[in-house]
Amino acid sequence: MADIPFDKRDGFIWFNGELLPWADAKVHVLTHGLHYASCVFEGCRMYGGEIFKLREHSERLIKSAEILGFKIPYSVEEIDQACIDAVRAQKLTDGYVRPVAWRGSEMMGVSAQKNRINFAVAAWEWPSYFDPEQRKKGIRLDIAQYKRPSPETAPSMAKAAGLYMICTISKHAAENKGYADALMYDYRGYVAEATGANIFFIKDGVIHTPKPDCFLDGITRQTVIGLAKDRGYEVIERHIKPEELSDFSECFITGTAAEVTPVGEIGPHKFTPGEITHNLHEDYIAAVHAHQAKAKAVNG
C-alpha cells in the first residue's frame, strides 16, 4: 500500500458533505489553495478504532482557517463526525486522518473573497513515521537552512499549507545528506522545532523545550508536557540558544506522526536516549490506548 500513489488508492474520501469514491475526490488545477496556499489542514492518528484528541484537532482546524481569513462551513461537531465517517468508510482501526479545508476556483488572483470554502477528510494506514531501527538509537537531524518566520511575517499560529514549504525543502535537503529530518531555528536564531514536530531536551533530569511563540504549540507537545508533569518531571519552556545543544544529554521530538521519537544526533551534537525519553514514550503510548478505551466506554 505504501508504494501506491495517493491518487490511485481505493476507498472513499469525505468531500463537501458526502463520501466520494477515492478517485473522484478531485480539485481543479486553478484552485486558489494550490496557487496561493489558502489551505489549512490537520493530522490525526487513530488507535484501535478511536481518533486521538479529535476534538482538539477539529477546533484547531477552525482556528487556523479564521487566521487565514475564511470560515469552514462546518461546526466542530460536524468536522468530528466527518472524520469518523471517513475512517469507517475506509474500515480502518489504526491509521492517519487528514482533514483539510481550502479556497476553491471561483476566483483566480490574490483576492478570493467569493471562492467556495471546500472541506474534505481522507484516512489511510500509516506505520511509523521514521525507520524503526533509526528510532531505537535515536534519529539523526541536520540543521535546516531556513528559519521559522516571525509572527509579524507569516500566520505562524495556523496549521497552514504555505508554512510547510520551507519544511519540505529542509527535510529533502536533510534526507539527501543521510539524515532523517532537520532542526529549524526561528527568525531570532533560537532553536524552534523539526520540520513537522516539536522538540524537547533533557539536562540533569529537567526537561527543556522551546517556547512556541512563532510556531505551533502541538497537540502532542501539550500531551507530553502533561504526562511529564504527571511523573513529577520539571518542564521549562524557554528560548534555547543553538550553543546550548551540547549541554543536553537526551533529546526527543513529538508530533501526531512522530509520536515520541528519540533523537541521537543534531549536526555535531550527540544525545543518548535515556530513561526520561523512554518513560515519556511509554506513557504516550499508554495515553493513546487509554483514550481509545475511554472513548469506547463512553460510546457503549
pLDDT tens string, the chain, 300 residues long: the values are 568 899 999 999 999 999 999 999 999 999 999 999 999 999 999 999 999 999 999 999 999 999 999 999 999 999 999 999 999 999 999 999 999 999 999 999 999 999 999 999 999 998 766 666 666 789 999 999 999 999 999 999 999 999 999 999 999 999 999 999 999 999 999 999 999 999 999 999 999 999 999 999 999 999 999 999 999 999 999 999 999 999 999 999 999 999 999 999 999 999 999 999 999 999 999 999 886 666 555 555
| Single pTM value for the model | 0.93
Q: How many domains does the chain contain in total? A: 2
Q: What is the CATH number of the domain that holds 120?
A: 3.30.470.10
Shared domain for 107 and 216, answered yes or no, is no
53 is catalytic: no
Say if 294 falls within a structural domain.
Answer: no
Cα(49)–Cα(237) distance, rounded to whole angstroms? 33
The C-alpha cell 488572483 sits at: 109
Catalytic residue among 91, 114, 137, 159: 159
How many residues in total does the chain contain? Answer: 300
Domain with 137 in it: 132-288
Shared domain for 51 and 80, answered yes or no, is yes
Cα(251)–Cα(258) distance, rounded to whole angstroms? 14
